[in-house]
Amino acid sequence: MAIASRHAAPLLAAVAGYVDTLGFVALFGLFTAHVTGNFVLIGAELARPGHGVLLKLLAFPAFIVAIVAARLVARACERRGRSPLPWLLGGQTLLLAGFMAAGLIASPVTASDTPLALLAGCLGAAAMGLQNAAGRLSLTKLTPHTVMTGNVTQLVLDATDAALGGADPGVRERLRKLFWPVLAFGAGALAGALAFVHVGFAALAPAIGAVAVLAWMGIAD
């Protein structure tokens, strides 16, 4: 039995917020899901040198390689008449497991430029690259679930229209679809930070489990 899309979008949003924040806390300010945010941090590091530049530089090509791999997998599946989604989410599950394993072996991570810290960061970025790609390739009907800026903007616009009495049924439906992923992303971010503080990289286990369940059960429209 597949998981309904109305439940899958908040779950994936929670995973994105959870992993992104955990990576940020664990690996010296690294964004794994919102990878372009690393450009801002790289600029800040150049202005006021600290640590973590190499890790942030390597995360971007890792993210890109994962997206290229997702496209190749999707094309191969299309030629065979199969959905690429189980492969993409299955790959994300494996990469997240690798992220956790590298982090656990490296713990405590006291420097951002050690081989295991770099490996952990790249695996985390690649995992979230696959989730971003899955959203574009196989989950186009779902609310975007990795970067929330556009969702929050649209949510506030629609909420304003609803408050002013100018919202048609379509706007109210979009409000419902946007609200839960935004809330789930925020809750996931808080949970990711708190979980890492208490159990370290082992806190990635719930995210791995959630993505594995989606890969196994599938997502229904």
Structurally, the chain folds into a number of domains equal to: 1
Q: How confident is the model at residue 217 (pLDDT cuts 50, 70, 90)?
A: very high
Predicted pLDDT at 1: 64
Beta carbons of 100 and 110 less than 8 angstroms apart: no
Residue type, 68: V
Beta carbons of 141 and 5 less than 8 angstroms apart: yes
Residues 41-80 pLDDT 10s: 888 877 776 667 899 999 999 999 999 999 999 999 999 9
* Whole-angstrom Cα Rg for the chain: 18
Report, as an integer, the average pLDDT of 121-148.
Answer: 93
Predicted pLDDT at 138: 93
Please determine, for residue 29, whether its predicted confidence score (pLDDT) is greater than 70. Answer: yes
Q: What CATH number does residue 185 fall under?
A: 1.20.1250
Beta carbons of 147 and 33 less than 8 angstroms apart: yes
Q: Which helix (H) or strand (E) holds 49?
A: none
Which range of residues forms the domain containing residue 81? Answer: 3-220
Q: List, in order, residues 6 or more apart from 36 with CB less than 8 Å away.
A: none
Please determine, for residue 6, whether its predicted confidence score (pLDDT) is greater than 90. Answer: no
* Choice among 30-44, 87-101, 182-196 with the minimum mean pLDDT: 30-44
pTM, 2 dp: 0.93
73: number of CA atoms within 13 Å, CB side? 21
Please determine, for residue 22, whether its predicted confidence score (pLDDT) is greater than 80. Answer: yes
